Chains A and B, each alone.
Chain A
């Protein structure tokens, strides 16, 4: 597939939440953004800047107040399994085993049983959870549950993956580990990723481009290219260029 193919196109999107008693919140103001095939775009910004709202709109879990969103050239009106999502809170189904969680997408889409078994095995191994197939989520740590979440999203084979601060609730060490694994998975299985985070280092390690959002007005302030070579590892964080870019982002968000 062509790398310059436009996967997501966001045109003049605004979102206003009505919070009752005639009060409204301007969650997003006039957003314009294009994301291209196999890009890894990170969105950073202060809390309350609307970055999560933007993902919810792309996933069709909510509708923009004005403007339009196109995914692969088609207007987004209803949820589409080609657009997967990983949420910040734990969204692993607690009543299903690890295996059944990962198999959820393929099963509901009617993928033949034999293939579901193969897909499930593959993605459980990819996130390093072999041996835990029959475990229930309550028996897993926060980091392991996040792996189930990521495996479940990848197993559904989306073209586009929206990740809403997926590692935000994890401790620093677990977070770094999952970042490396995500880089590794993404290197073998390229998808178009839109990754929301408030962690500047995370954005620089993972992203090819970084969208910087501002608060009040909740809009895109600037977009930066991240020039670091791939495959990347965490040693990248110690390089001067990395630290310079981090400083640049920090200044932007100050």
Chain B
């Protein structure tokens, strides 16, 4: 390498290090400013605690709520989201793939899916409550339905997007339709399916909380309704933080699984 090249390389490396330092600062500053602002406006009593609680309020609320947290989490996560989400994504993926693979299946189910798809799942809550009451069945059905609709469309498109060249290549190598399905289509659609599962997981949280807000006697959403009823703003904020952390952790988990399963996929590098 010539000396001038070395100088250019050093300069590029130096700029990169500086950029990374700026990025780290940019990540932290807005959050730090917001927290500082929050502390100042609440501690100086510029806003009433009903509107925005002080850090001390928040801390004691968290200590009170932690007693109920295990049972709330169990109700929301294990009894509602887990069954609803599992049923929804399984049936949705199966139907979407079936519709993409089989013309008769497509003709049979597409009209129903197309009619249901534009309906916001949340709009179904009153009807579901009328039919099934305010028990777990309503909540699970809502979550299942919400994830189902997402996955039907997602998995259908995933199969349709498998590049024909791979199917041609497998065909000329002697693969039967069954072998093509198992060895070409399934591996090709995994990345898209996982992307759909991520969307469904986030949506499931939303549907669960919404269902609990509308009618439930347990769960994080129910805890939110109680807090609002007793004007406990600090409780509301603590529960929102819990929901955010949970939803993020689940998405992070799915992303890690995704990285393991689809490391073959060329992706644009993200810094």
Interface set of A (CB-CB < 8 Å, partner B): 59, 61, 79-81, 83-85, 87, 89-91, 93-96, 104-105, 108-109, 136-138, 152-153, 156, 162
What are 24 A-to-B residue pairs whose CB atoms are below 8 Å?
A59-B172, A79-B171, A80-B174, A81-B173, A84-B172, A85-B172, A87-B165, A89-B165, A91-B166, A91-B169, A93-B166, A93-B170, A94-B264, A95-B187, A95-B188, A104-B183, A105-B174, A108-B173, A108-B176, A138-B264, A138-B265, A138-B266, A152-B173, A153-B173
Contacts known (A94-B265, A138-B264); A87 close to B173, Cβ less than 8 A: no
Are B168 and A104 in touch, CB under 8 angstroms?
A: no
Is B68's CB within 8 Å of the partner chain A?
no
Are B172 and A61 in touch, CB under 8 angstroms?
A: yes
Residues from chain B with a CB closer than 8 A to the CB of A84 are 172-173
Residues from chain B with a CB closer than 8 A to the CB of A87 are 165, 168-169
Are A137 and B264 in touch, CB under 8 angstroms?
A: yes
Residue of A nearest to B190 (CB): A95
Is B57's CB within 8 Å of the partner chain A?
no
Tell me the count of chain B residues lying within 8 A, CB to CB, of chain A. 22
Which label, helix, strand, loop or mixed, suits the secondary structure of the A interface?
A: loop
Q: Count of A-B contacts with CB under 8 A?
A: 69
| In the bound complex, CA of A152 to CA of B165 (Å) | 15
Are A93 and B184 in touch, CB under 8 angstroms?
A: yes
| In the bound complex, CA of A1 to CA of B172 (Å) | 24
A-contacting residues, B164-206, CB 8 Å:
165-166, 168-176, 179, 183-184, 187-188, 190
Q: A79-B171, A85-B172 are in contact. List 9 more A-B contacts (CB 8 A).
A: A84-B172, A87-B169, A91-B168, A93-B170, A94-B264, A95-B187, A95-B265, A105-B173, A153-B173
Interface set of B (CB-CB < 8 Å, partner A): 165-166, 168-176, 179, 183-184, 187-188, 190, 262-266
Are A108 and B174 in touch, CB under 8 angstroms?
A: yes
| In the bound complex, CA of A109 to CA of B184 (Å) | 15
Q: Which 7 A-B pairs have the closest CB atoms?
A: A81-B174, A91-B169, A85-B172, A105-B173, A138-B266, A95-B187, A95-B264
Residue of A nearest to B174 (CB): A81
Residues from chain A with a CB closer than 8 A to the CB of B179 are 108
Expressed in whole angstroms, the minimum distance between the Cβ of A83 and any Cβ of chain B is 7
Residues from chain A with a CB closer than 8 A to the CB of B187 are 93, 95-96
| In the bound complex, CA of A100 to CA of B190 (Å) | 18
Expressed in whole angstroms, the minimum distance between the Cβ of B270 and any Cβ of chain A is 15
| In the bound complex, CA of A199 to CA of B187 (Å) | 36
Residue of A nearest to B261 (CB): A95
Expressed in whole angstroms, the minimum distance between the Cβ of A58 and any Cβ of chain B is 10
Q: Which of A59, A89, A93 has the most CB of B within 10 A?
A: A93
Are B183 and A108 in touch, CB under 8 angstroms?
A: yes
Residue of A nearest to B178 (CB): A108
Residues from chain B with a CB closer than 8 A to the CB of A96 are 187, 264
| In the bound complex, CA of A153 to CA of B172 (Å) | 9
Residues from chain B with a CB closer than 8 A to the CB of A138 are 264-266
Are A85 and B169 in touch, CB under 8 angstroms?
A: yes
